Amino acid sequence: MSSSAVASKRLFHEYRTLTNDPPEGITAGPVNEDDLFLWEALIQGPEGTPFEGGLFPAELKFPKDYPLAPPKMKFTCDIWHPNVYPSGDVCISILHPPGDDPNHYEHASERWSPIQSVEKILISVMSMLAEPNDESPANVDAARMWRERRSEYEKIVRENVRKGLGL
């Protein structure tokens, strides 16, 4: 079985699991089933955080050797968060292949392994929204604001949440 066939099979399986038993606040699936390597996910902002009530669309791109290599995840909405690049790319340890951390911020066990899944990624991202990782910020400005001017940070986040819902 070629690696991309393995990937398709596994992705299809994950899609089915996520449909039959979706985790709270997450909807995800391929944009089009003809291409199982591109997904769209909607993630609810975690409660008790400035992201509460928000809905954040993101795009997941899977490599041909998935699940050996992790997918890339990118928010397709405006999101102001220390671990999300201004481009929307998500920087979180579970999306990093092991042995690929030049800064040694992360333990190998937190990083990608073939036994992880889309569901685990999305749940991790959800908890990342609630608790930014200050150590290796992807958006330095957001990180500084989160650290030094929390209320301003939360204001921007709330603003984005409303704008994202067309309000």
Partner 1 sequence: MDSDDEINSVQSSEDDFMDDEDSLGEDFDAVEEPDDFGFSQDKDIKPRKQAYEVDFKVWGPGQIQDQQDKQVEEVSAVIGQPTESTAILLRHARWNKERLIESYMDKRDEVLESSGLSEDKEGSASITKADDFMCDICCEDGKDLDTFAMKCGHRFCVNCYRTYLASKIRDEGEAARIKCPGEGCERIVDSKSLKLLVTEDLKDRYHELLTRTYVDDMNNLKWCPAPDCTYAVECGVKQKDLTKIVPTVTCSCGHHFCFGCSLNDHQPAPCMLVKKWMKKCEDDSETANWISANTKECPKCHSTIEKNGGCNHMTCRKCRHEFCWMCMGVWSEHGTSWYNCNRYEEKSGSDARDAQAKSRQSLERYLHYYNRYANHEQSAKLDKDIYLKTEKKMTQLQSSSNMSWIEVQFLQEASQALQQCRQTLKWTYAFAYYLARNNLTEIFEDNQKDLEMAVENLSEMFEKSTDQLAGLKVEMLDKTSYCKRRRIILLNDTAENLKSGMILIIPNS
Partner 2 sequence: MPEQSLNIPQLLAVLLITFFAIRWYISPSTTTHSSNSSARQRRGPRPEQIEQIAQMFPQLDRRSIGWDLARNGGNVGATTERILGRGLDVPPLNFQLPAVSTASPSTSSTPSSRHNPAASQPKHPDLITRYNLGSKVNAPVEEKEDISAGKKPAWSGDKAKRQAELQKRKEEMILKARQKMLERVEKERKGEGS
Indicate whether 72 belongs to the interface with partner 1 (CB under 8 A). Answer: no
Indicate whether 46 belongs to the interface with partner 1 (CB under 8 A). Answer: no
Within 10 Å of residue 88's Cβ, how many Cβ atoms? 17
**91 given a catalytic annotation:** yes
18-57 positions binding partner 2, by CB under 8 A = 19-20, 22, 27, 29, 32-33, 40, 42, 44, 53-55, 57
CA dist., res. 13 & res. 118, Å (int): 11
Catalytic, out of 36, 60, 91, 95: 91
- Of 167, 160, 164, nearest in space to 50 by CA: 160
Within 10 Å of residue 153's Cβ, how many Cβ atoms? 22
Indicate whether 114 belongs to the interface with partner 1 (CB under 8 A). Answer: yes
Q: Angle at the Cα of 63 (from 62 to 68), degrees rounded to 5?
A: 105
Indicate whether 156 belongs to the interface with partner 1 (CB under 8 A). Answer: no
CA dist., res. 113 & res. 109, Å (int): 8
Q: Which of 109, 151, 166, 167 binds partner 1 (CB under 8 A)?
A: 109
Partner touching 53 among partner 1, partner 2, none, CB below 5 to 8 Å by kind? partner 2
CA dist., res. 69 & res. 79, Å (int): 26
Contact window for partner 2 (CB under 8 A) among 1-9, 101-109, 117-125, 155-163: 155-163
H helix runs in the chain, sequence order? 3-20, 118-130, 140-148, 150-164
- Shortest Å, Cβ 127 to partner 1: 17
CA dist., res. 93 & res. 20, Å (int): 27
Task: Write out the residues near partner 2 by the rule CB under 8 A.
Answer: 16, 19-20, 22, 27, 29, 32-33, 40, 42, 44, 53-55, 57, 76-80, 86, 141-142, 145, 152, 155-156, 159-167
